[in-house]
């Protein structure tokens, strides 16, 4: 058989090109699929966040009102549309934002653990991308929290985010004294870190789902092995018990962030220029531990933790930054226009 002529070879090549070109175009014009499955929930750039704030009846008219008038009022505004805030208390309230529990009042381990279990139960029922816990003496900068959480994959990664208040991991000798009680957990007998509840704790959706077996959903009795049982047997507060379960039982390590602050940290040591960069701030009337703001709130309401003063300071600072940014952009636009006119009409 004779070798095909150049003209017939060209026709053959054109036919093959016409047939295969669309396939190559489809292959290389679109990015290859990621080997990691993509969640059907909110995208990482716009996650849903549920914040539960632990409080008590005595603080409804003080700390809760201060929070609602300041940082919590920013939820649902531009940039925080998918952020929901609920206060979990031991008493009823006419406000729909305050969820009542059957937990006892006070600051005992039993009361604290009961409320933490109620917070986790609420989070499991609502299934957010991230669940965050704060205390009612926390001031949360919602935009910073959202920006911080955007870097994570809540449905693919086990995440336990917070800040420890101890200088070393915690050792619980009671684990050795009563080994038979915790044998079913198959926990690792080693020191562990825990995120301080007062500074703030955030869990990813994946981690939250792993806690389900420790939470009684809709039942009144507290069976052996649940969260409150663990608290009672260990004799520790809620945040320590949560750290034990996450780190030693579920093997989910604490990811530390120093932008979370509790009243155990000195607020007045944070420079004013860095206040608006934090994720959570706090305060203490007992220790006179307050944020360092230039002007005190001059309204008729009390400002026990200086949250209203802080809110005013941050709003003014953000407004100043926005005006400076707009002024810079205006100068840049003017320069570009003058440069364009120079080259057009020279």
Which residues are annotated as catalytic? 239
> 98 near 54, Cβ under 8 Å?
no
Beta strands in 205-314 (DSSP E): 254-256, 280-281
- The Cα 240–Cα 169 span in angstroms is 11
Beta strands in the chain (DSSP E): 49-54, 83-89, 98-100, 130-135, 139-140, 160-162, 201-204, 254-256, 280-281
Structure tokens at 273: 């220029």
Structure tokens at 109: 């381990």
Q: Which of 244, 241, 254, 263 is nearest to 202 (CA)?
A: 254
Q: Helix, strand or coil for residue 112? A: helix
**What order of strands is seen across the sheet that includes strand 254-256?**
98-100, 83-89, 49-54, 130-135, 201-204, 160-162, 254-256
> 221 near 207, Cβ under 8 Å?
no
CA geometry: angle 17, 23, 25, nearest 5 deg: 90
Q: Which of 124, 129, 117, 53 is nearest to 86 (CA)?
A: 53
Residue with tokens 């290389």: 28
């Amino acid at each position: 058989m004779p070798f095909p002529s150049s003209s017939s070879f060209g026709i053959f090549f054109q036919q093959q090109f016409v047939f295969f070109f669309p396939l190559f175009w489809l292959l290389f014009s679109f990015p290859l699929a990621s080997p990691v499955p993509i969640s059907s929930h909110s995208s990482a750039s716009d996650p849903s966040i549920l914040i539960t704030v632990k409080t008590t009846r005595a603080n409804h008219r003080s700390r809760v009102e201060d929070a609602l008038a300041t940082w919590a009022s920013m939820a649902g505004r531009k940039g925080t549309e998918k952020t929901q805030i609920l206060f979990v208390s031991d008493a009823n309230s006419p406000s729909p934002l305050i969820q009542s529990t059957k937990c006892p009042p006070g600051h005992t381990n039993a009361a604290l653990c009961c409320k933490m279990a109620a917070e986790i139960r609420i989070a499991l029922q609502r299934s957010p991308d991230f669940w965050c816990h704060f205390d009612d003496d926390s001031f949360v900068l919602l935009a910073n929290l959202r920006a911080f959480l955007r870097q994570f994959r809540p449905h693919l990664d086990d995440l336990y985010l917070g800040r420890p208040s101890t200088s070393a991991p915690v050792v619980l000798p009671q684990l050795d004294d009563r080994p038979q009680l915790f044998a079913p957990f198959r926990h690792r007998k080693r020191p562990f870190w825990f995120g301080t509840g007062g500074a703030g704790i955030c869990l990813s959706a994946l981690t939250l789902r792993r806690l389900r077996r420790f939470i009684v959903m809709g039942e009144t009795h507290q069976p052996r092995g649940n969260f409150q049982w663990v608290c009672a047997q260990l004799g520790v507060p809620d945040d320590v018990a949560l750290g034990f379960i996450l780190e030693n039982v579920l093997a989910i390590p604490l990811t530390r962030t120093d932008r979370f602050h509790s009243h155990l940290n000195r607020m007045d040591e944070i420079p004013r220029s860095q206040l608006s960069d934090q994720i959570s701030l706090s305060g203490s009337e007992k220790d006179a531990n307050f944020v360092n703001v230039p002007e005190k709130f001059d309204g008729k309401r009390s400002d026990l933790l200086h949250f209203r003063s802080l809110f005013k300071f941050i709003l003014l600072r953000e407004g100043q930054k926005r005006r400076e940014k707009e002024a810079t952009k205006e100068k840049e636009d003017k320069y570009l226009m003058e440069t364009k006119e120079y080259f057009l009409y020279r």
